[in-house]
Amino acid sequence: MAQQEHPAITNFRNYIRIKTVQPDPDYASCTAFLKEQAQALGAEVHVEECVPGKPVVVMTIRGQDPSLPSVLLNSHTDVVPVYPEHWKYDPFSAFKDEKGNIYGRGTQDMKCVGLQYVEALKQLQEAGHKFLRTIHLTFVPDEEIAGGNGMGKFVETDYFKKMNVGFALDEGYANPTEKFNLFYGERSVWWLLVKCPGQPGHGSQFLENTAGQKILKVVTSFLKFRDAEEKRLRDTPGLFLGDVTTVNLTMLKGGVQLNVVPAELTVGFDVRISPKVDLKEFENTIARWCREAGEDVTYEFAEKGHSSDVTCVEDGKNPWWDAFAAACKKEGVSLVKQIFPAGTDSRFLRERGVPALGFSPMNHTLVLLHDHNEYLNEKIYLRGIQIYTSILLAVANLKP
Ligand code: ZN
167 shares a domain with 228: no
What's the rounded Cα separation, in Å, for the pair 30 and 338? 32
41 shares a domain with 23: yes
How close is the Cα of 228 to the center of ligand 1, in Å? 29
CATH number at residue 369: 3.40.630.10
Domain end position, chosen among 304, 325, 345: 304
Does residue 313 contact residue 184 with C-beta atoms inside 8 Å?
Answer: yes
How close is the Cα of 61 to the center of ligand 1, in Å? 24
Residues 6+ apart with CB under 8 A from 97: 103
pLDDT score of 116: 98
**Ion ligand 1 neighbours, Cβ < 5 Å:** 109-110, 171
CATH number at residue 297: 3.30.70.360
pTM equals 0.91
Residue type, 160: F
Bridge partners of residue 335, in order along the sequence: 180
Q: What is the pLDDT along the chain (400 residues), one digit of tens a residue?
A: 457 999 999 999 999 999 999 999 999 999 999 999 999 999 999 999 999 999 999 999 999 999 999 999 999 999 999 999 999 999 999 999 999 999 999 999 999 999 999 999 999 999 999 999 999 999 999 999 989 999 999 999 999 999 999 999 999 999 999 999 999 999 999 999 999 999 999 999 999 999 999 999 999 999 999 999 999 999 999 999 999 999 999 999 999 999 999 999 999 999 999 999 999 999 999 999 999 999 999 999 999 998 789 999 999 999 999 999 999 999 999 999 999 998 899 999 999 999 999 999 999 999 999 999 999 999 999 999 999 999 999 999 999 9
Is 78 one of the annotated active-site residues of the chain?
yes
pLDDT score of 307: 79
Residue 381, SS3 per DSSP: helix
How close is the Cα of 211 to the center of ligand 1, in Å? 40
CA distances from 387 to 167, 180, 382 (A): 18, 11, 9
180 shares a domain with 44: yes
Q: What is the largest distance, in Å, between two alpha-carbon atoms of the chain?
A: 84
Q: How many domains does the chain have?
A: 2
149 shares a domain with 18: yes
Q: Is the peptide bond before 110 cis (omega within 30 degrees of 0)?
A: yes
Structural domain range at position 222: 188-304
162 shares a domain with 48: yes
How close is the Cα of 352 to the center of ligand 1, in Å? 20
What's the rounded Cα separation, in Å, for the pair 174 and 209? 50
Name the active-site residue from 78, 109, 186, 309.
78
Closest CA to 16 of 105, 81, 76, 116: 105
pLDDT score of 1: 45
Name the active-site residue from 119, 142, 143, 171.
143
62 shares a domain with 173: yes
Return the axis-axis angle of helices 211-235 and 279-293, rounded to nearest 10°: 140
pLDDT score of 2: 56
How close is the Cα of 259 to the center of ligand 1, in Å? 47
192 shares a domain with 181: no
Residues 6+ apart with CB under 8 A from 232: 239, 244
Domain end position, chosen among 256, 272, 304: 304
What's the rounded Cα separation, in Å, for the pair 194 and 108? 36
Is 90 one of the annotated active-site residues of the chain?
no
Asked if residue 153 belongs to a domain, the reply is: yes
Q: Is the peptide bond before 151 cis (omega within 30 degrees of 0)?
A: no
Residue type, 134: T
How close is the Cα of 143 to the center of ligand 1, in Å? 7
Asked if residue 2 belongs to a domain, the reply is: no
